[in-house]
Amino acid sequence: MRHAPELFGGVRVPESFLAVDLFYLVSGFVVAHAYGERLARGGFAGRFMLTRLIRLYPLYLLGLAIGLAPAIIASVTDPEGWWSLPRVAEAAATGLFMIPLFPGLAANGSSLDGPTWTLLWELVANLAYALAIRFMNLWALIATIVVCGAGVVFAEWRYGTLDVGFNPTDQWAALARVGFSFFAGVLLFRVAGEGERRSEWIAWALMALLAVALGFQPAAWAAGGYQLALVLVGFPALVLVAGRFEPSAISGRVFSFIGLMSYAVYLLHQPLAVLAREGLDRIDWDADDLIPWLTGPAFLAFLLILAWRLDKQYDAPARNWLRARLMPSAGKAAEG
């Protein structure tokens, strides 16, 4: 709804950009759970970063390739337009190295697939965690969270929104967002990562609460405070409770499937929506003629089916192939 609103009749989730902060928060929790002990023992940082790259890169590369298609078409059919062949080359070159923005270049990796700007900062946080974990006691974690949290507050004050971090002038805000949320996730795992209990209704209530929180439209005067409250307090509280309560086996399988599909949906939805718009433009079908209650769910269903098939036939095999050649002694080590 955020990156392809015309397919949903222009309906948007007002605070959907805050899902980035939730993504970083959950990532910190999961990475600390999966790799914290091995990183603390030392000698694992390089293998850890390679593992993270192998986990992220195959689907990222596919999203980049899909984003290249409409850019190349635009450069050929409209050479006087924004996309030119040199810009396509710039975007492809920076994109291959997961660089969402590069000083002095008009086109970058995120020009082909907008949401991918978050992945560089995810890797920055992963690297900082891997290198500093031996020194990251409770007080160091709290200090990091406080400093980065102050940066988040300043970003809200400076820009009037937390929908920042993807522009050349606000890269520091991206660092503050990932620094606070990722390391808050690490802290939450340390204090509440063990001793789960079963509670079906709490698990589903948390999902409903998250949907309400992101879909709520605060008054203009209250938007800044609302965004800060969610990022600094609401999301950590949500993850804290979620870390203590597990759903039933059936619901757990549903959540696991959605979680497995989410990365592909995240990376592919925008470039695929751009291709869909290109196709509609070429058959002179105006977006106003779309039936949002049909086209939106149909597009989402297509994404889920595609993500499921890609996991079976592309992503998992590609990751296995990369691990076998780049990490032959790793075996079937757990991934984050």
pLDDT, tens only, 15-27: 999 999 999 999 9
Percent of the chain predicted with pLDDT > 90: 77
Compute CA 112 distance to the chain's CA centroid, rounded to the nearest angstrom. 16
User: What pLDDT, on a 0 to 100 scale, did the predictor assign at position 286?
Assistant: 67
Query: For residue 107, which of 77, 123, 84 has the smallest C-alpha distance?
Result: 84
Read off the pLDDT of residues 279-305 as tens digits, 9 standing for 90 and up.
777 776 666 667 777 888 999 999 999
Position 333 scores a pLDDT of 47
Distance of CA 250 to the CA centre of its chain: 26
Q: Rounded CA gap, 197 and 275, in Å? A: 45
Report whether pLDDT(131) > 50.
Answer: yes
Please state the pTM of the whole predicted model.
0.93
Pairing of strands 245-246, 197-198: parallel
Closest CA to 136 of 31, 235, 232: 31
Q: What pLDDT, on the 0 to 100 scale, is given for residue 218?
A: 94
Residue that wins the pLDDT comparison between 6 and 69: 69
Q: How confident is the model at residue 334 (pLDDT cuts 50, 70, 90)?
A: very low
φ/ψ bin of 99: left (φ > 0), alpha (ψ from -120 to 50), beta (otherwise): beta
CA distance to 19, 205, 225, 263, per residue, from 247 (Å): 22, 11, 32, 21
Give residue 15's Cα distance to chain centre.
15
> What integer pLDDT is reported at residue 287 of this predicted model?
62
pLDDT of residue 96: 96
Percent of the chain with pLDDT over 70: 96
Segment 182-200, tens digit of pLDDT: 999 999 999 887 777 888 9
